[in-house]
Amino acid sequence: MADVVKPTGPSPTSSPGGTAGLRRNVLSMPEVLTQSVANAAPSAAVSVLPAIAFIYAGNGAWLTFVIATISMVLIGYSVSIFARRFASAGSFYVYNTKALGPAGGFASGWALTLGYVFTAMATTCGVAIYLGAFLTQIGLPGGTTVAILLMIAIDVAVASWFAYRSIGLSARVSLVLEAVSMTIILVLFAIVFARKGISADALALKGMPSAGIGPGIVIAIFAFVGFESAASLGLEAKNPYRTVPSSVIISAVLVGVFYIIGTLAQTTGFQGAKVGFDSAPAPLFDLAGLMGVSWFGYVMNLGITASNFACTLACINAGSRIVYQMGQDGMILRAAGRSHAINQTPHIGIYLVVPLMLLGPFVIIISGHTPIDVINWMGTTATFGFMLAYLLVAIAAPIYLYRRGEPYIAPLVVGIIGSLIMLYVYYASVWPIQPMPGPLWPIIFVSWMIIGFAWYFIVRSRSPHVMAQIGAIHETNEAMVGARR
C-alpha cells in the first residue's frame, strides 16, 4: 500500500489551480520500458557509434559495448533503489533529494532537463537527415535548407501533439516505432551473420589496441544516455515500484545487447571490404551494399527516422515531467506544475521545453551549419547533463540506505564503481582539449548549471520554505519505507 508524502504543496494526483494531475495507473510494463528504450534511440545510435568505437578499439569495439552495458546496469541498480521506494514524475530530481538534499536533487533535475532538451535537438535533426535521405532516394528535394527546417518543425510539432494528447497514446506510438525500427536493423544484422558468420578475429580481440579501450567505452556509454527516463513515469505506470526499476535495468540490457550484436555484425560485414568499417561514411548503408541488399537502405532510412522521432517524443515526455515536478514544488513557475484538465498531461511543461528543442536546431542551421553538426554538438552537450545525474544517483543510493539503517555495502560498491566510470567519462570528454568548437560544449553545460544554481539561491533566499518541498511530492512504497520512518 502506498501513501502520499506531502509536507506542503499539491499532491501528485492533483495540480495547482485544481486541475486533474497526471493520469494514474495507465502504462503497462512494455509501455514504460519503451520510454527508456526510445530515449536511447538505439537504431540511430547503432548506425554511427559502433564505427567510432571501432576507430579506437578495433576488433575490441564490441567489448567496449559489453563494458558500457555492465556500467549502465550498475547505474540502473542505483536508480532501482529509489524507484522501488518512490513513484513520481520527477525522476532523479526526487530520488537524489532523499540523500543529497535539495541542492543535489535540483542539480540532478536541472542537468536532466538539459539532457532531454539537447537530445531532442539532436534527434530532430536525425529525423531531417534520414527522412531527407529517403525523400532524395525517391526523387524529392530532401536536402535543402527549407526542407530540413520543415522536417524538424514537423517532427517537433507531431511529437508535441502526442505528448500533449495522452501519455498512453505516446507510449503506444513509441512502442510501435521503436519495435519496427529495431526489427529492420536486426534483419540486416541477421543477413550478415547468415552469410559470413561471426568474425573470429573480433571474438579473439585480434589486434585490439589496449589504449583504445578507454575512449571506446566512453563512446559506447554515449549510446545509452536517456535509458533512465522511465523514472519520470512513476505516477502514470501500473505497479510503479516494480515496473519502473525493472524497465530501467531491462532497457540497459536490451539496448546493450542490441549494440553488441550490431557492432559484431558490422565488424564482421566489413572484413575484407575495400572500405573499412572505421572509414565507411554511412556504415549501415554501406553494409547493406556489401551484403547485396542495397535496396534495404530505403527501409533503413524510414526505420532510423522512426527511432529518432520516438526519441524526440520520449524527450518531451520526460523533460516536461521534470519541469512539472519543479513547478509543483515551487522551484520554478508554479504554472509549470499544472496538468491539462482533460488529457492529464503536463501541458505547461511541454510548452516550456518544446520551444527550446526547436530553437536550437533552427538557429544553428540557419547560421550555415549542417544537421550533422547539430547532432554532434547538441548530443555531446546533452551527455554532460546525463552523466552528472548518473554520478549523483550512484553517490546518493548508498548514502540513503546508510542513513536509514538498511544494508548498504553492495550499493556502496556499485555506487563507487558507477561514480568512477562517470568521472572517467567526464575526464575523457574534456581532455585532451579538442579544437574549436569542442571546448564550447562543456562550457555551455557549466553555464546552464550556473544559471540554474543562481536561480536556486534566489529562490532559497526569497522563499526558504520551498527548499523543504523540493523532491517531497511523490508516492511512497510503504512496504519498503514506512516501517523504517
64-79 pLDDT tens trace: 999 999 999 999 999 9
Task: Give mean pLDDT, residues 343-354.
Answer: 94
Please, what is the angle between helix 49-57 and helix 240-270, to 10°?
A: 60
What per-residue confidence (pLDDT) applies to 481? Answer: 67
Q: What is the mean pLDDT of the chain?
A: 89
What per-residue confidence (pLDDT) applies to 431? Answer: 79
Cell of 107: 542539480
Strand-pairing partners, residue 86, are 476
How many other CB atoms are there within 10 angstroms of residue 351's CB atom? 15
Please name the amino acid found at residue 211: A
* 364 vs 378: CA distance, rounded Å: 10
* Residue % of the chain over a pLDDT of 70: 94
Q: Which is more confidently placed, 429 or 105? A: 105
Q: Which of 3-7, 217-221, 243-247, 384-388 has the lowest mean pLDDT?
A: 3-7
What per-residue confidence (pLDDT) applies to 129? Answer: 93
Query: What is the helix (H) or strand (E) element at residue 307, kind and residue range?
Result: helix 296-329
Task: Give mean pLDDT, residues 35-54.
Answer: 92
In the numeric block, the cell 536486426 is attached to 186
Contact predicate 324/340, CB 8 Å: no
Task: Give mean pLDDT, residues 453-473.
Answer: 86
**Do you find a cis peptide bond into 355, omega within 30 degrees of 0?**
no
Contact predicate 181/307, CB 8 Å: yes
Query: Residue 387 pLDDT > 70, yes or no?
Result: yes
Burial of 440 (0-12, 13-18, 19+ CB in 10 A): middle
Burial of 326 (0-12, 13-18, 19+ CB in 10 A): buried
Instruction: Please name the residues in contact with 30: beta carbons below 8 A apart, sequence gap of 6 or more.
Output: 175
* 358 vs 355: CA distance, rounded Å: 5
Name the strands in the sheet holding 474-477, side by side, starting at the edge strand that comes first in the sequence.
2-5, 474-477, 86-87
Of 308, 33, 298, 303, the closest CA to residue 185 belongs to 303
What per-residue confidence (pLDDT) applies to 484? Answer: 54
Cell of 389: 545525474
Q: Which is more confidently placed, 439 or 227? A: 227
Query: Residue 10 pLDDT > 60, yes or no?
Result: no
Cell of 22: 497526471
Query: Residue 16 pLDDT > 80, yes or no?
Result: no
Asked if the 2-484 domain carries CATH number 1.20.1740.10, the reply is: yes
Q: Which of 151-155, 211-215, 276-280, 329-333 has the lowest mean pLDDT?
A: 276-280
Please name the amino acid found at residue 72: M
SS3 475: strand
Cell of 174: 513509441
Query: Residue 367 pLDDT > 50, yes or no?
Result: yes
Of 235, 197, 247, 262, the closest CA to residue 49 belongs to 262
pTM above 0.75, yes or no: yes
* Residue % of the chain over a pLDDT of 90: 66
Q: Which is more confidently placed, 161 or 472? A: 161
Instruction: Please name the residues in contact with 247: beta carbons below 8 A apart, sequence gap of 6 or more.
Output: 29, 32, 33, 35, 36, 230
Contact predicate 167/318, CB 8 Å: no
Alpha carbon 424 to its chain's center: 19
What per-residue confidence (pLDDT) applies to 478? Answer: 67
SS3 2: strand
What per-residue confidence (pLDDT) applies to 3? Answer: 37
What per-residue confidence (pLDDT) applies to 356? Answer: 95
Burial of 257 (0-12, 13-18, 19+ CB in 10 A): middle
Domain boundaries, the chain: 2-484
Instruction: Please name the residues in contact with 478: beta carbons below 8 A apart, sequence gap of 6 or more.
Output: 1, 2, 3
* 333 vs 341: CA distance, rounded Å: 18
Please name the amino acid found at residue 176: V
How many other CB atoms are there within 10 angstroms of residue 55's CB atom? 16
User: Per residue in 423-447, pLDDT tens?
Assistant: 988 888 887 777 788 788 899 999 9
User: Per residue in 314-346, pLDDT tens?
Assistant: 999 999 999 999 998 888 888 887 988 898 999
